[in-house]
Amino acid sequence: MLSSPTPAKAAPHQELLYRQLAGHYGSAIEQGALPPGSRMPSVRELMLRHQVSLSTGLQALRWMEEQGQLEARPRVGYFVRQPALARLPAAREPSLEMESPTDIDASPFSGINPRISLFLEKARQADVKIDLGTAMPAPELFDAASLNRLATALLREQPNILLRGATIRGTHPEFQAAMARHALDCGVRIAPEEVMATLGNSEAVNLALAAVTQPGDIVAVESPTFFGLLQGIETQGLRTLEIPSSPHTGISLEALELAVRSQPRIKAVIVVPHLQMPTGCVMPDSHKQRLLAFCTEHDLALIEDDIYRDLVESTHPARPIKAWDTEGQVIYCASFNKTFAPGLRQGWMNAGRWHTRVQMLKYARTRNMQSWSQLLAARGVSAPSFDRRLRKLRSELRTQREASAQAIASHFPPGVHLSLPPGGLSLWLELPDGASSTLLHEQALARGIRIAPGPMFSNSGRYERFIRLSCGMPFSPAVEQAYVELGQLIRAML
Amino acid sequence: MLSSPTPAKAAPHQELLYRQLAGHYGSAIEQGALPPGSRMPSVRELMLRHQVSLSTGLQALRWMEEQGQLEARPRVGYFVRQPALARLPAAREPSLEMESPTDIDASPFSGINPRISLFLEKARQADVKIDLGTAMPAPELFDAASLNRLATALLREQPNILLRGATIRGTHPEFQAAMARHALDCGVRIAPEEVMATLGNSEAVNLALAAVTQPGDIVAVESPTFFGLLQGIETQGLRTLEIPSSPHTGISLEALELAVRSQPRIKAVIVVPHLQMPTGCVMPDSHKQRLLAFCTEHDLALIEDDIYRDLVESTHPARPIKAWDTEGQVIYCASFNKTFAPGLRQGWMNAGRWHTRVQMLKYARTRNMQSWSQLLAARGVSAPSFDRRLRKLRSELRTQREASAQAIASHFPPGVHLSLPPGGLSLWLELPDGASSTLLHEQALARGIRIAPGPMFSNSGRYERFIRLSCGMPFSPAVEQAYVELGQLIRAML
C-alpha cells in the first residue's frame, strides 16, 4: 500500500518512492482492478494523484514496463499487458473446486438461512450454462424494440429525469395513478397516493414484514413456499411457521386456525394466491375471502405477494385478495419483473392501514426508486398494447411449459409426479423414490445445469424428492439436452 | 366492493348488478383511482372483466353518465368528468392543517425514530416551494444532454438490457471493473468481484449495519450526524451511541476509546470522513489512519460512508480510510447520487471481510440493482469527461455556497455562527440565543420553505439552535427571498 503522499525531492527517497508507486499499481493489476488492456494513468495524473515528481512517475512507469507489466504505445501512453496465456486457465480452478459442498463455509450466512444460502452460493460459484433454476422470463419473450422506444421517448420528453434525486415524497405521482388504474382492472381500489414504488417485489415484501412485526414474531407461510420469503423472514429476526397448503386451494385455513390459537406471536400471513411458488396453485375466490375474513378477525397482517397474477391463463383477470379488503388488512405487493421489463426491477406495493409506516421505513432503508423506471413502467402498463402483449407472453410460456413437460415425460425415468399449472414460469415435480434433489442439484451444477431443489422451498426437510424447473427460456435443443442429462442423473440414483 | 363475478341473466338481479358495477367505478372516481379525463372501460371490457351481460355494462355506463360522473364522447367512449371547480381547493385543506405538530400521529413511526420521522412527515405533507432542506444537487448542475446520449447509446448497444432480470450473480462485471478502477484513483484497491451495486448509498450503509450487528448491539456515530443514519440504525433494532466530533478532525478517538471500554456491545462505527454531514468536516489522513488502527485493534467494523468525497475541493483526490485498510475491516459505501446522476439512485459498496455475507443479505432483501443503471454509471464515471465535469460541479457548488453564506450575512440577525466547508452541498449554522430551529422549521414550512433543523441530526436534544441549509440549487432571487423570510422569522424569535 502506498504510504500517505509526501512531496519527494532527495534522490534516495525518490528511488524508494517510484518502487512504491510501481508496487501500488502492480498489485492493482494482480487483483484485476486494472485489467489487461486498460490504460495506466499518465505521468501528469500520477504526479497529481500521488504528489510525486515527474521523474518519479516516469521511473515507475518505465520500471513496470521492464517488469513486463506494462507496454508503452508511442504518443498514447502505457497499457496493462495481457497476462501470459498459461495463466488464464488457472482463473477458473476455484469455481470448479467450489462445487463440492464441503468447500463452502456456511458461517457468513448465519441469520440468512444458511441452508438455502448454501444452495444459492453453490449456484453462484458454478459455471451455469443452462439455468432451469431461475423463474425468470427470457428477454426474447418481450418486445425490446418498443420498450426501448418508450425509454428514449421518455428521455427526450423529460431530459432531467435521470438527474432528479431522492425526495421525501418518494413515489412519482404518474406511477401512482397508473398503478391505481391497473389495480382497478382486477377489482382492486387503491388511493393513488398510497401506491409505493419499490426495488422489485422482494423489497416490497420485506418492507411489509418489517412494518407489522417485532423481532421474534412468527410469520405464517404456505408450505412449500418461495425460498426468498424464508430468507427474508429470517434476516429480519423473525420465525417462520409453515402451514400445510393444498395444490388446489392453497393454505389450509384449518391448520392456520390451529396455529393461531397456540401461537400468539403469529403477526402476519404471507400468501402467493396466484401461481403459488413453487406449486403453481391458484387460490379460489371463495378461499381468498375466507382467508381475508380470518386474518381480519384475528388482526393478522395479510401480505399478498401477487407477482405472478398477470401470468394466470383465464378468460377474465384473476382478482387479488386485496379486491375484498375493506379494512386495509392486506398489504399488496406486486412487480413488473415477470410481465413487462425484468431488467427494470420495478415493483410496487400498497400497505393498507400500514401505509404511513411503510412509507417511512422505505425512506429510511433505500430512499426512492428511480423516477425514470417508475414512469417507464407506468407508460408501458397503461399502453393499449400491454394486454395484447400479456396474452402473447402467456401463450408462449404455455408452449414452453408444455415442451418442458414433454421432455420430462420422454427423458425422465417413470414415477415422476407433475401437474401442469394454469400459467407461470415453472414446473414443480416429484421425483421417483430413491432420488435426491440435493444430490441432483450438485451433479447438475457440475455439468453447467442449474435446477432449484425441493429443500430450498421449506425449512421442514420435506420435498427432498421435489425439484422446481423453470420454463422461462424458449425451449431449444440445448434445453432439451439439459433435460436428457437430468434424466440420466436421476436414473443413476434409482 | 363489487361481489365476486357471476353471470347475470334475470332482470331483477341485473338491475342490482348494474348499480353495483356503477358503484364500483363511482368510488374509484371518488378515490382518484380514475382521475378526471381518464377513459372508462368499454362495454366489452366491462363484460369481460366483471362477467356481466352487455346490457348490464351499458346500463352502468349510462347511469353513471346521468349521475354526472361520466361524459360520453360519440364513437370514442365514456370519460370521467372534471369535478366541479368548487371541489378542487378542498383537496389542499388537509396538507395545510397538517402543518401544526399536534395533527400528526407519531405512532406509525415507532422503531423508525418517531422524532426524526415527524420532522420528515411534516415536510412531506407541506407544500414546499423552496427546498433548503434536501442536500441534493440541482439537475442544472449536470450535463443532461450527454448523459441522455450515453443512455440511448447503451439501449442501442444492448437492446435487451431492460429485459434481463435479477440473477444470483447480482452486480454487473462491467460496473465492478469500473468501480475498482475508480477507487484506484484515490488509492483504494478493491477486487472487482467484491464490488456490489446498491440502491443508493442508503441501502449500502443499511446492509453494512445488518451484516455486522445483532439486534440490541450498539453503533457508534459522529455527533451531530446524518438523520438517515439514526433512522437506519433504529429500524434494524440497534442502538445509537453519539461520539463527540470536532468540526476540524471528526470523531473523537479519546471519546470512542472510553465508550468501547464501557460498552462491549459496540460492534460498528460509522463515519463520513469527507464533508461530514452536517458539519462539513474533512478528516485529516493521520486521523483516518488512527481511527482505522483503533477499529482493527478492537475488531469494530468501520463503516465508511463516502458519498461526498468527490465534492471536496482539493488539488489531489482525498483518500478514503479504505485506502489504508489491509484487513478488510472497512466497509466502504459510496454512490453517484451527488456527483453523476442523482436520478439513477446508483450506489455501490465493498464490504471488506464481510463481502460474502453482505452479498447474500442484499440478495435476500432486494435482489439486484438494474444492469442498465450500473452500466450507465460505469461508463459515465470511466469517461475522460468525468473529472472535468466534477471540477465544474465543485466550482458551481462553491459559488452557491458562497452566495448562500452572503445571504445569511445580509439577511439573518447578528450572532449567527457559520464556517464555510471545503466543498459540498450544505451549510451548518448556529443561530443566536433564543432562536429555535424546531419552531423555525414549522414556520418556514407554512411559508413553503423547507430547512433541516438541528435536532434532526442527533438523538441527544443538542443542536436546537442549529440548522442545515442546502446549497444544491442555483442561487436565484426566489432563493434569496427565502433567506430574507428565514431571517425575519429568526429575528421574530429573539
Q: Convert the pLDDT of each residue in B290-303 to its tens digit.
A: 999 999 999 999 99
Cβ B56 vs Cβ B21: under 8 Å: yes
Chain A residues with CB under 8 Å of B338 CB are 165
The span from the first CA to the last CA of chain B, in angstroms, equals: 56
Chain A interface disruption, residue of B2, B121, B162, B330, most A CBs within 10 A: B162
Bridge partner list, B39: B79
The grid cell for B357 is 455475507
- Helix, strand, coil % over all residues of chain A, rounded to 5: 50, 15, 35
Half-sphere exposure (Cβ direction) of B303: Cα atoms closer than 13 Å = 28
* Average pLDDT of the segment spanning A471-483: 97
Interface contact B134, partner A, CB < 8 A:
yes
Which H helix or E strand runs over A347?
Answer: strand A346-350
Nearest by CB: A181 against B34, B147, B168:
B34
Indicate yes or no: CB of B343 within 8 angstroms of CB of A139.
no
- Which residues make beta-bridge pairs with A303? A270, A331
pLDDT above 90 coverage of chain B, percent: 77
Residues of chain A found within 8 Å of residue B199, distances taken between Cβ atoms: 199, 366-367, 369
Q: Which residues of A touch B152 (CB under 8 A)?
A: 152, 155
What is the C-alpha separation between B371 and A313, in angstroms, rounded?
A: 30
The strand ranges marked E within B202-345 are: 218-223, 239-246, 250-251, 266-271, 301-305, 330-335
Q: What pLDDT, on a 0 to 100 scale, did the predictor assign at position B14?
A: 53
Partners of residue A41 in chain B, C-beta under 8 Å = 185
Tell me the average pLDDT across A415-443.
96
What is the residue-averaged pLDDT of chain B?
91
Q: Do A189 and B28 touch (CB under 8 A)?
A: yes
Q: Inter-chain contact A365–B202, Cβ cutoff 8 Å?
A: yes
- The pLDDT of residue A168: 83
- Say yes or no to pLDDT of B9 above 60: no
d(CA B394, CA B308): 11
d(CA A388, CA B100): 49
CB contact under 8 A, A370 and B123: no
Q: What are the chain A neighbours of B35 within 8 Å (beta carbons)?
A: 177, 192
B384 shares contact with chain A (CB less than 8 Å)? no
Interface of B with A in 194-213 (CB under 8 A): 199-200, 202-203, 206, 210
H-run or E-run covering B453: strand B452-453
Write out pLDDT tens, residues B118-140.
Answer: 999 999 999 999 999 999 999 99
pLDDT at A54: 86
Task: Tell me the pLDDT band of A419, cut-offs 50, 70 and 90.
Answer: confident
Nearest CA in chain A to B361: A112
| Nearest residue, CB atoms, A187 vs list B2, B148, B160 | B2
Among the ranges given (A59-63, B287-291, B435-439), the one the predictor scored with the smallest mean pLDDT:
A59-63
Q: What is the mean pLDDT of residues A203-210?
A: 98
Give the whole-angstrom CA distance, residue A2 versus residue B341.
31
Q: Hey, is the C-beta of A123 within 8 angstroms of any chain B C-beta? A: yes
Could A192 and B33 be called an inter-chain contact, meaning their C-beta atoms sit closer than 8 Å? yes
The residues in A 449-488 lying below 8 A from B, measured between CB atoms, are none
Q: pLDDT tens digit string along A435-459?
A: 999 999 999 999 999 999 999 999 9
Note the pLDDT tens digit of each residue in A387-405.
999 999 999 999 999 999 9
* pLDDT at A14 (0 to 100): 54
Is the Cβ pair B136, A165 closer than 8 Å? Answer: yes
Report residue A317 CA to chain centroid gap.
26
| pLDDT value of residue A86 | 29
Determine which helix (DSSP H) or strand (DSSP E) holds A72, and give its type and residue range. Answer: strand A70-73
**Which pLDDT score is estimated for B429?**
96
Question: Mind listing the pLDDT tens digit for each residue in B292-333?
Answer: 999 999 999 999 999 999 999 988 889 999 999 999 999 999
Residues A487 and A411 sit within 8 Å (Cβ to Cβ): yes
Cα distances from B374 to residues A34, A281, B176, B205, B224, in angstroms, run: 19, 36, 9, 18, 32
Report the percent of chain A where pLDDT is more than 70. Answer: 93
- Are A454 and A224 in contact by the 8 Å Cβ rule? The answer is yes
- The arrangement of secondary structure in A144-386, i.e. its CATH architecture, is 3-Layer(aba) Sandwich (3.40)
pLDDT of residue B442: 97
Of residues A121, A168, A185, nearest to B124 (C-beta): A168
| pLDDT of the residue at A3 | 43
Give the nearest chain A residue to B137 (CA atoms). Answer: A165
Which candidate, B55, B343, B69, B309, places its Cα nearest to that of B199?
B343
Interface check B176 vs A, CB under 8 A: no
Can you give the pLDDT at residue B27? 87
Q: What is the pLDDT of residue A63?
A: 86
For the record, the C-alpha cell of A130 comes out as 443452462
220-239 in B: which are within 8 Å (CB) of A?
A: 228, 231-232, 235, 237
Q: A364 vs B235: CB contact, 8 Å cut-off? A: yes
Question: Side chain identity at A133, as an amino acid letter?
Answer: G
Confirm if A22 and A14 have CB atoms less than 8 A apart.
Answer: no
Q: What contacts B212, CB < 8 A, 6 or more positions away?
A: B267, B268, B301, B303, B331, B354
pLDDT at B16: 77
Residue labelled with grid coordinates 413453487:
A278
Query: CA of B454, closest CA in chain A: separation in Å?
Result: 18
More confident residue, A43 or A276: A276
Model confidence at B15, pLDDT cuts 50, 70, 90, reads low
Which pLDDT band, with edges at 50, 70 and 90, does B436 fall under?
very high
Query: B151 to chain A: which residues are within 8 Å by CB?
Result: 151-152, 155, 162
CB contact under 8 A, A155 and B148: yes
In chain B, which among 57-76 make CB contacts under 8 A with chain A? none
Give the least confident one: A121-135, B13-27, B431-445: B13-27
Give A-chain residues touching B23 at CB under 8 angstroms.
none
Quick one: angle between helices B54-66 and B11-31, nearest 10? 50
Min distance B299 CA to chain A CA atoms (Å): 16
Listed range (A326-335, A481-490, B30-39, B243-252) with the worst mean pLDDT: B30-39
According to the model, what pLDDT value does residue A15 have? 55
Q: Would you state the cell numbers that stand for residue B214, as one nine-digit string?
A: 445483532
Region B102-111: mean pLDDT is 86
> CA of A415 to nearest chain B CA: how many angstroms apart?
32
> Rounded to 5 degrees, what angle do the CA atoms B178, B179, B183 make?
120
Assigned CATH for B107-141+387-493: 3.90.1150.10
Question: What is the mean predicted confidence (pLDDT) over B421-430?
Answer: 97
Q: Do B189 and A232 touch (CB under 8 A)?
A: no
Nearest to residue A197, comparing CAs of A179, A220, A215? A179
Looking at residue A16, its pLDDT comes to 77
Q: Report whether B265 contacts B233 (CB < 8 A).
A: no
Each residue's pLDDT tens digit, A115-169: 999 999 999 999 999 999 999 999 999 999 999 999 999 999 999 999 998 888 8
| B51–A343 C-beta distance less than 8 A | no
Q: Which of A205, A117, A442, A124 is nearest to B170 (CA)?
A: A124
- What pLDDT does A13 receive? 55
What pLDDT, in 10s, does the model give residues A244-295?
A: 999 999 999 999 999 999 999 999 999 999 999 999 999 999 999 999 999 9
Residue % of chain A over a pLDDT of 90: 77
Q: What is the C-alpha to C-alpha distance for residues B280 and A430, in angstroms, rounded to an integer? A: 61
H or E element at residue B211:
helix B200-212
Domain chopping of chain B, boundaries: 17-82, 107-141+387-493, 144-386
Out of A35-39, A437-441, B238-242, least confident range: A35-39
Torsion of CA A380, A385, A390, A393, to 10 degrees: -100
pTM for this prediction = 0.85
> Considering just the CA atoms, what is the radius of gyration of chain B in Å?
27
Q: Which residues of chain B does A148 touch, with a Cβ-Cβ cutoff of 8 Å?
A: 155-156, 159, 162
Cα angle B437-B440-B442, degrees, rounded to a multiple of 5? 115
> Which among A162, A337, A356 has CB closest to B151?
A162
Q: Does pLDDT of A380 surpass 70?
A: yes
User: Which residue of B lies nearest to A338 if distances are taken between CA atoms?
Assistant: B165
**pLDDT tens, B59-98?**
899 889 888 889 888 778 899 987 643 232 222 222 233 3
Domain spanning A17-82, CATH architecture: Orthogonal Bundle (1.10)
Q: How far apart are CA B338 and CA A202, in angstroms?
A: 27
Q: What is the pLDDT of residue A138?
A: 97
The lowest-confidence range among A99-103, B117-121, B153-157 is: A99-103
Count interface pairs A-B at CB distance under 8 A.
314
Closest CA relative to residue A24, chosen from B295, A55, B328, A56: A56
Q: Among partner residues A117, A317, A372, which is closest to B360 by beta-carbon distance?
A: A117
* Confidence label for B7 from pLDDT (cuts 50, 70 and 90): very low
